[in-house]
Every structure is written in C-alpha cells, then in structure tokens.
C-alpha cells in the first residue's frame, strides 16, 4: 500500500473508530476498543476497502507522523475519542427495533428469549437493513427479529442508544419480539425400515440346474390324452382278433 492509500485508510479508520462507529453498526467497549476482526468485517462491506487486511492496518503504526489509531493485542481504537457518541439511556425510542440472530439458534431463542453473551450486548437497529448487515457478520443467512419497544420496556428491558443508528440491551424476553415461523422438523422414524427382499444375482456364463423333484415340479398345461394300449397294437394283431370273433 502506497503512502497516499495509507493516509486515506488512516483517515477512514479515525472516522469509524473516533466519530461514527454506529454508522457502520459497530459497538465499542467502555475503553473505545473493538476487535480488529470486527473492524475488518466492516471494511469488507465498504466499496473500495474490501482489500484491507490486518497487515495493512498494523502497517499504519510504522508510518511517520501522528498515527490516528492504537492497537492492543487483538483490539483497536482511535487515539482521538473526543467526538465519540456516549451511550445514553434511550428516551424516545421508535416503536420497532430490529436485531438478527444465527439461524441455528432461532428455535432456542424463540422459546427462551435472547441473552447477551459475556462480552457482547444485544445489538439493535431502527433499520432492518442495518440489523441484517450486522447479522451477516456472524451468519450468512441470519434470522431477523422485530422488537416491540413498548413491550420490551414494560418487561424491564433497559435499552441504550449509541449515536444515531444503533441501540443495545442485555436481554430480550420471548414475548417482546416476533420472527418468522419456526422451521418444520422431520418426524423421527418409529421402527426399523423394511428391507426389500434380496434378488438373486445373475452370473454371466453360469448354469444353475433346477433342484426340485419331479413331484414338486410346477404343473404345466395338460398334454394329450394317452391312448389305450390296444390302440397301439399292430394291424396283424387286430386282424387275428377279428377272425377269432368271427
């Protein structure tokens, strides 16, 4: 990355981390840090910045002059944080807020509600598109939940606002949000499947004799009636019998 590109990246990071993280659906901790991997996901969503890798960000620390960022292990923050919007108790909430969860977690969340992880708050947005953008950072096809803010407040949920576009809370009971129908589950088979009878395998070039007895042989079509033995006598015997009778 040349010097001009490095300067542009430095200014962009200073804007994201030092002024408007909410514009990009990014939540900073109490010290103003976020995970470097989360920042890279944000950059990957922005036209013209999808090529940026961790090495490009760390290379800014080697540039001459003032550096607008600082890195601690796997976290990054802006040096100048005077213009960061402080989290405040949301006073005038929109009627609906949106959040996304992983698809595989939806059946559990649908039944028990949504709890924040140890280091992550539940992130909400007034725009469904922003909620889906944030959700796709964790799941390619996230499930969108619609939160009724009046019901949430009535259930004791404390919602904080971060700048203009992002809100957070630490939990959501199951009766304050709605989502798509649960996926249908296939019923488990109750017994062993019936196996088809095995068919004899024909072996090319082989001959297998019929092993049934004559008595057990399958009956075929009836043949011609056998003539009596006398009908089989030669003509001279028939002539002699006639002479004796005469």
Q: Per-residue pLDDT tens for 211-223?
A: 444 444 555 555 5
pTM (2 decimals)? 0.72
Domains 3-78 and 88-178 share a fold: no
Q: What is the mean pLDDT of residues 182-211?
A: 59
User: Hey, which CATH number is domain 88-178, 3.40.50.11810, 3.90.1150.10, 3.90.580.10, 3.20.170.30?
Assistant: 3.20.170.30
pLDDT higher than 50, residue 116: yes
All structural domains of the chain with their residue ranges: 3-78, 88-178
Could you read off the pLDDT of 90-99 as tens digits, one per residue? 888 999 999 9
Q: What is the mean pLDDT of residues 182-198?
A: 63
pLDDT of residue 94: 95
pLDDT higher than 90, residue 234: no
**Three-class DSSP labels, the chain:** CCHHHHHHHHHHHHHHHHCCHHHHCCCCCCCCCEEHHHHHHHHHCCCCCCCCCHHHHHHHHHCCCCCCEEEECCEEEECCCCCCCCCEECCCCCCEEEEEECHHHHHHHHHHCEECCCCCCEEEECCHHHHHHHHCCCCCCCEEEEEEHHHHHHCCCCCEEECCCEEEECEECHHHEECCCCCCCCCCCCCCCCCCCCCCCCCCCCCCCCCCCCCCCCCCCCCCCCCCHHHHCCHHHHHHHHHHHC
Average confidence score pLDDT of the chain = 85
Q: What is the mean pLDDT of residues 42-63?
A: 94
Instruction: Count the Cβ atoms, other than its own, within 10 Å of residue 1.
Output: 15
pLDDT higher than 70, residue 119: no
CA 165 → CA 30, 93, 123, 160, distances in Å?
Answer: 18, 12, 10, 11
Look at residues 87, 88, 76, 90 and name the one whose alpha carbon lies nearest to residue 18: 76
The top-level CATH class assigned to 3-78 is: mainly alpha
* Strand-by-strand arrangement of the 75-78 sheet: 34-35, 75-78, 69-72
pLDDT higher than 80, residue 182: yes
């Amino acid at each position: 990355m040349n010097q001009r590109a490095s300067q542009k990246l430095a200014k962009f990071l200073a804007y994201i981390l030092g002024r408007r993280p909410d514009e990009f659906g990014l939540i900073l901790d109490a010290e103003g840090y976020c995970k470097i991997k989360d920042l890279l996901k944000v950059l990957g969503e922005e036209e013209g910045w999808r090529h940026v890798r961790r090495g490009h960000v760390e290379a800014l620390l080697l540039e001459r002059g003032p550096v607008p960022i600082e890195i601690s292990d796997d976290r990054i923050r802006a040096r100048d944080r005077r213009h960061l919007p402080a989290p405040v108790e949301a006073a005038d909430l929109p009627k609906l807020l949106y959040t996304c969860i992983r698809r595989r977690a939806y059946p559990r969340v649908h039944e028990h509600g949504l709890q924040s992880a140890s280091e992550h708050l539940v992130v909400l947005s007034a725009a469904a598109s922003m909620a889906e953008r944030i959700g796709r950072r964790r799941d390619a096809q996230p499930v969108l939940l619609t939160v009724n803010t009046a019901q949430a407040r009535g259930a004791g949920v404390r919602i904080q606002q971060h700048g203009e576009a992002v809100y957070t809370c630490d939990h959501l009971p199951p009766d304050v949000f709605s989502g798509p129908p649960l996926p249908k589950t296939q019923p488990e088979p109750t017994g062993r499947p019936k196996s088809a009878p095995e068919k004899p395998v024909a072996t090319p070039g082989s001959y297998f004799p019929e092993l049934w007895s004559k008595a057990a042989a399958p009956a075929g079509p009836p043949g011609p009636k056998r003539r009596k033995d006398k009908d089989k006598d030669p003509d001279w015997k028939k002539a002699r019998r006639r002479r004796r009778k005469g």
